[in-house]
Chain A
Amino acid sequence: MSILGKLFGSDDAETNALVMDEPRPHSFLDHGAQDVIGKPINRVEGPLKVTGRAPYAAEYPAERLAYGVLVRATFGSGKITKIDDSAARALPGVIDVVADYDTFIRSPGQGGATEAPPQGVQEVHYFGEPVAVVVGETFEAARDGAAAVRLEYDEADASYAFAAHKDQGKEPKEDQIPGHSKQGDFAGAFDKAAVKIDVTYTTPSQNSTAMEPHASIAEWRDDTLILHGAYQMVASDQQQLAKALGVSADKVRIIARFVGGGFGSKLGIAPESVAAAVAAKKLGRPVKIVLARQQVYEATVRRSNTEQRIRLGTDANGKIDALSHNSLVTNTPYEQYWEPVAIGTHFLYGGENREMNHDLIALNLNAAGSMRAPGEAVGMMGLECAMDELAEQLGIDPIELRRRNEPAQEPEKGIPFSSRNLIPALEKGAQLFGWSQRKKAGTDRRGEWLHGMGVSSAVRTNMLMKSAAKVTLTTDGRAIIDTDMTDIGTGSYTILAQIAAETLGLPVEKVVVHLGDGKAPPSSGSGGSWGAGSAGSSVYLACEKIREKLAKSMGVAVEEMTLKDGRAIADNRVVPITELIDENLGVIGQIEPGKQEKKFHQAGYGAHFCAVKVNVVTGEVRVERMLGVFAAGRILNEKTARSQCLGGMTFGIGAAMTEEMIHDDRNGKVVNRDMAEYHVPSHADVPHLEVHFLEERDIHVNPIHAKGIGELGISGAGAAVANAIFNATGVRVRDFPITCDKIIEQLPFDA
């Protein structure tokens, strides 16, 4: 039995494992006869979702289910001296008030972490920290109980206001990129530069605001915990949860078959999971906790606010010689995670002398963590607006500026790019959008409205994660995929079915996809845009091995065999594949990153174009149209890929114009805790969005040649909006979001 087989308690399935040490030029996906890969087919689970038959975490039935509601700290920092639960316990329907200072987690786990999140809630570190759970026979009873709990505490001094602590930044530990990084002599080169830009941009804290709030149902069966949870990374979340609870990892099984959006906020376990597990254990019955929207804002991860100083020094032609992107970011005092603002800046443009520093400020605010395109989402707003400022100062077209700074190879490591279509994306977008119609800033006024266009590059680092999946070809002619991969609304179910269907020559309807069960082979999970490439490759590798076995059974070479509609065709014979196997044939496919990511710099690229109008009276901005061109390797499903880009561009509109999580500087409380006041874009804010893909294959990234796309669409999108606002008005706002109050006084309202 293989090691993997033992782990999953499965049969003697063979394993086809690949470490991505060498390029993989050949892919059956380029030669399949089924012709489903890349096609814009509808989501295979769509009918379940629209008929309410796709159960989300909170929707599983359980016998004797009890309902939990978390109790929040109503102060920003201090130590709880007493939890007065007498009033809560006296309420009808309240079963128990469960407080476990040591076990409850302070804030959510970070993505991919395999240790328990920070525990211990007697010491409160931020306003809204969950400190206990009230369990009731009904949700309503539990909610009333939670409101009736009184906390006694000694308040402690703390740091809340970003503005007051900007000198407190400390270099963080290296993560994906170094905290501080230097190349050449930035200061000297900047000093000598013919043209200089030195600007500071700020972005606010944000919340993912996934449609489905964080939710868990915890049920102990003997000594094993079954947790239906709204999570993105089942395998590492199981480890986080097991360690938090002090049980071995094989005693925790997380099930997350359908997840209603995550955007990073569900990468690690959130406080409700541990609280539900502790309460369920204590009460001997299953406990469900669903966070209220206000709790989602208060007690799940935010995207850190940032202050970014960007300095660009160029020669007279705009060729960058000095490039610095230094940032201040924040997190709760005990947290290590820091927003990698300059992650894209490291390789997007050339320039010999470089400096990219990040300093982390500890503030008593809710924890910061990964949110859609951590690093690029905010860093590209700063960098790409600064590039726009540079182009304006040089008097050259922003696309031409980027052309002049296109590096031949990765500018810091000196390695080649695995594939890079930034300039083609900009050029194709310019042509499709009508970029040549752009006018001089502040000159296109029509009535009360100023019109403008903006452009931005898009870039997102590509990542491959270790990922496994089992594919079983059944004697009745179906392929069954088992992996703990999740579908957080992205289309995982569909693309995995397409990969198997193409590789095995089956109609998509003959592929059954089981996702999100922690008992299945461990996958990359959903995060970092790596899901399709990683989990997709694992499915592909399993299918590749099955192909080999079918060919062998047929007595032909694998490359001579064509698979289509359940039949194998070779050697002038057509054989149903079910006749080529005696019993169900299961293979585990496994992909692992290897030397290719060291030898080649891997990223997806694209370009955003945006047209806005700005009202000269009120400063209100309306996005009129937006167009994105993206190159992300093989597009596995043109429809779900497009949806990812549309969503990313919409996030970009929100980041540029409306989204801002506000903390009260006096106690760190989240002020705007609901969707009426935390403004994600409404439909009326999002006009026609156009998405185009460039044909691309990347043989260095993985055997399916697909790069990540989920986060490429947000990268730079907000900058394109902001640059369009500048082009419309001639006013540069460097403090996101660009709300009317920041611009009106500078608009030409001739009163």
Chain B
Amino acid sequence: MKTFDYRRADTIEAATHANGRFIAGGTNLLDLMKLQVETPERLVDISRLDLDTIEERDDGGLTIGALVPNSDLAADPRVVAKYEVLSRALLAGASGQLRNKASTGGNLLQRTRCYYFYDTATRCNKREPGSGCDAIGGFNRILAVLGTSDHCIATHPSDMAVAMRALDAVIVTQKPDGDKRRISIHDFYRLPGDTPQIETVLESGELITHVELPAPPTGKQVYRKVRDRASYAFALVSVAGVVEVKDGVIASAALAFGGLGPMPWRNPAVEAAIVGKAPSTQAFEAAADALLADARGYGSNDFKIPLARRTLIATLRDLTA
């Protein structure tokens, strides 16, 4: 851990002007700092900001403070009742202790769990731009099969963000100049391309203050996570699904995926393959085809492609049963 300066922000304005790396729960950042994967010169502690409440809006949606702990969000009665997919995704992540400490905003910004990103003795374009990627050609069992580039095949590790992507969440931020932005989660993350070190559209000093959930969706909600052990393991594949069947026809569908890509993954073509159709194996297979049309394995992660296909089809059966 490199020596760093520490400031505690008392206001959002002060935080955005403090010119440092924000820290809330620190469940990911501190680990990475100890390994010198992250070497911020200044930490700006935002944990005392007044951003830890969940408010119901007039439109029926929820506005979640960026500092709401994962465990509180998962247990909130409104979330449990109306956004079940989010509650289940949160509880599928990490461990009880980590969920108590991890914040909503921080969870969105988790760094990848790529083995090579975690070891400064290896090449990693995300950690050290231009150095190369040892995961390609190396052991990449947990890494991405969608949205990869020749520069990076990392996955985004969050479960929460996958559910939020299925729920069309909006990320509310404030910039140092006081401007507030409302960024759709669909526009929030960036593909690696040749700049895998840039993971989101956040600008320097821009702070996530809230996450807005639109009014609760109609239909059935499911979060299904496939992992190597029953708890405390990142997703090999996960599916967050919200599907409504009306009169024997799929009226609406929202499907997002974890463990497959560099961001919580959502592809409108997957939903288009089933909306307006009666639930059927044929339709579900078409959805899987759409999801995996451009999938590419890198050796030890090849299995994710058939695993994703099977998991999606089974989840759709469950959602339309």
A residues near B (Cβ < 8 Å) are 72, 74, 92, 127, 140, 143-144, 147, 294, 448, 617-620, 622, 657-658, 662, 664, 666, 669, 671-674, 676-677, 679, 681-685, 739-741, 744-745, 749, 751
Contacts and interface: CB of A to CB of B under 8 A. Distances in A.
Nearest to B303: A741
B230 A740 contact: no
A669 B303 contact: no
Interface string B34-47: 11100000000000
Contacts of B1: 140, 143-144
A739 B121 CA distance: 28
B314 A448 contact: yes
B232 A682 contact: yes
Nearest to A617: B314
Contacts of B233: 676, 679, 682
Interface stretch (B15-23, B66-74, B304-312): B304-312
B120 interface: yes
Contacts of A147: 36, 120
Contacts of B167: none
B100 interface: no
Contacts of A74: 121
Contact of A144 (B3, B231, B303): B3
B119 interface: yes
A-B complex: 8 closest residue pairs judged by Cβ atoms: A741-B303, A684-B230, A684-B231, A74-B121, A617-B314, A682-B231, A618-B226, A671-B115
Contacts of B36: 147
Contact of A683 (B121, B231, B234, B237): B231
B229 A674 contact: no
Interface string B96-117: 0000000000000000010110
Q: Which of B230, B237, B307 has the most CB of A within 10 A?
A: B230
B310 A618 contact: yes
A683 to B, nearest CB: 7
B314 A676 contact: no
Contacts of A662: 139
Tier of interface size on chain B: 35 or more
B163 to A, nearest CB: 19
A617 B121 contact: no
Helix, strand, loop or mixed for chain A's interface? Answer: loop
30 contacts: A74-B121, A92-B3, A144-B1, A144-B2, A144-B3, A617-B310, A618-B226, A620-B226, A657-B229, A664-B138, A666-B138, A673-B115, A676-B113, A676-B232, A676-B233, A681-B229, A684-B230, A685-B230, A740-B228, A740-B303, A740-B307, A741-B141, A741-B307, A744-B303, A744-B307, A744-B310, A745-B306, A749-B310, A749-B313, A751-B313
B274 to A, nearest CB: 15
Contact of A669 (B121, B232, B285): B121
Contacts of B116: 671
Given A662-B139, A744-B306, A751-B313, A672 B115 contact: yes
A676 B310 CA distance: 26
B231 A669 contact: no
Contacts of B141: 741
A672 B231 CA distance: 17
A448 B226 CA distance: 14
A174 B236 CA distance: 44
Given A618-B307, A673-B118, 11 more contacts: A294-B35, A658-B228, A666-B138, A671-B116, A677-B142, A682-B229, A684-B229, A744-B310, A749-B313, A751-B285, A751-B310
Nearest to A663: B139
Interface in B292-321: 303, 306-307, 309-311, 313-314
A677 B114 CA distance: 10
B122 interface: yes
A18 to B, nearest CB: 47
Nearest to B288: A751
B229 A72 contact: no
Interface string B1-12: 111000000000
Contacts of A669: 119, 121-122
A137 to B, nearest CB: 13
A617 B231 contact: no
Contacts of A617: 310-311, 313-314
Contacts of A92: 3
B218 interface: no
Nearest to B232: A682
B159 to A, nearest CB: 14
A72 B229 CA distance: 30
A622 B36 CA distance: 37
Q: Which of A74, A658, A669, A679 has the most CB of B within 10 A?
A: A669
B131 interface: no
Contacts of B309: 751
B204 interface: no
B137 A143 contact: no
A294 B237 CA distance: 26
Contacts of A682: 229-233
B144 to A, nearest CB: 15
Nearest to A128: B121
Nearest to A687: B230
A615 to B, nearest CB: 8
Contacts of B314: 448, 617-618, 749
B152 to A, nearest CB: 17
B283 to A, nearest CB: 12
Interface string B128-140: 0000001001110
Contacts of B118: 673-674
Contacts of B122: 669
Interface string B209-247: 000000000000000001111111110110000000000
B253 to A, nearest CB: 18
A603 B311 CA distance: 46
A609 B226 CA distance: 26
A482 B34 CA distance: 41
Contacts of A741: 141, 303, 307
Q: Which of A448, A617, A657 has the most CB of B within 10 A?
A: A617
Given A676-B113, A741-B307, A685 B229 contact: yes
Contacts of A739: 228
Contacts of B236: 740
A671 B114 CA distance: 10
B36 to A, nearest CB: 5
A455 B142 CA distance: 32
A683 B134 CA distance: 33
A622 B121 CA distance: 36
A353 B13 CA distance: 82
Nearest to A743: B303
Contacts of A679: 228-229, 233
Contacts of A140: 1
Contacts of B138: 664, 666, 671
A296 to B, nearest CB: 14
